[in-house]
Amino acid sequence: MPGILLGDIFPNFEAETTFGTINLHDFLGDRWGIIFSHPRDYTPVCTTELGRAAKLSEEFKKRGVKMIGLSVDSAEDHNGWIQDIIAYNGEEPGYTWPYPIIADPNRHLASALGMLDPEMKDKEGMPVTARCVFIIGPDKKLKLSILYPATTGRNFDEILRVIDSLQLTATKRVATPADWKPGDHVMVPPNISEEEANDLFPAGVCTRQLPSGKNYLRYTPQP
């Protein structure tokens, strides 16, 4: 299944995880979901990423997003590594790890989901997983995917910002500009006529004048 496209139903699968066997679609139920993959257990960048994701787990929960990590080692290895990540995060005794990590020792899932990075090999010469993010909507459709190489860690604050945009634009006919943050003005998409925009956005539409004279740069307060 390489190349899952935006709008495709995300393929269902069963996998061993640190929380037991998970059926993806059952696990997600009617919630949003995020799957983020990692090259290997006990590696430095991955440790910082999984630690940051754990620190932000309440933020994902507030947004109704179920989190799932994936790395190409066994659940037993993941459980050992999680203890390192908890220590790296400086958590207190009794802390509970917040999300499952899929075990994919044979790389079956990473390969099926197009996550492998053929340029980056482990000590045994096997390809490792790239840093892939899939965000899945409550309708099980793929809403966003990003793919970073193993050498570049992700920004999980940016991932939360993207989820805020995805959730806003799922219900309101707006688009979010570069560097948008919740509460900032949003943009009126080009497929909405001036008359319709005035009806849809009673808070007002402000059009920025540009040399072309084409009135396409239209802002409105976030509905």
Residue 125 touches ligand BEZ, criterion: CB under 6 A: no
Q: How many residues line the site for ligand BEZ (CB under 6 A)?
A: 10
Cα dihedral sign, 102-103-107-112: negative
Residue 146 near residue 130, CB atoms below 8 Å: no
Minimum distance, C-beta of residue 77 to ligand BEZ, in the bound complex (Å): 14
From residue 163 to residue 202, the character string flagging contacts with ligand BEZ as x (rule: CB under 6 A) and all else as - is ----------------------------------------
> For this structure, is 104 an active site residue?
no
Interacting residue with ligand BEZ among 12, 21, 83, 151 (CB under 6 A):
151
Nearest one of 97, 119, 50, 39 to 73, comparing CA atoms: 39
Beta bridge partners of residue 165, listed in sequence order: none
Local structure of 128: helix, strand or coil:
strand
Residue 46 touches ligand BEZ, criterion: CB under 6 A: yes
Residue 148 touches ligand BEZ, criterion: CB under 6 A: no
Interacting residue with ligand BEZ among 44, 94, 118, 211 (CB under 6 A):
44
Residue 100 touches ligand BEZ, criterion: CB under 6 A: no
Candidates 37-45, 54-62, 164-172, 194-202: pick the segment binding ligand BEZ (CB under 6 A). Answer: 37-45
Residue 49 near residue 89, CB atoms below 8 Å: no
Strands (E), the chain: 14-17, 20-23, 32-38, 65-71, 101-103, 116-121, 127-129, 131-136, 142-148, 186-187, 206-207, 218-220
Quote the CA–CA distance of 75 and 80 in Å, as a whole number: 9
The residue type at 222: Q
Residue 85 touches ligand BEZ, criterion: CB under 6 A: no
> For this structure, is 139 an active site residue?
yes
Nearer to ligand BEZ, 159 or 186 (CB): 159
Residue 43 touches ligand BEZ, criterion: CB under 6 A: yes
User: Mind telling me the catalytic residues?
Assistant: 46, 139
Q: What are the residues binding ligand BEZ (CB under 6 A)?
A: 39-40, 43-46, 120, 128, 150-151
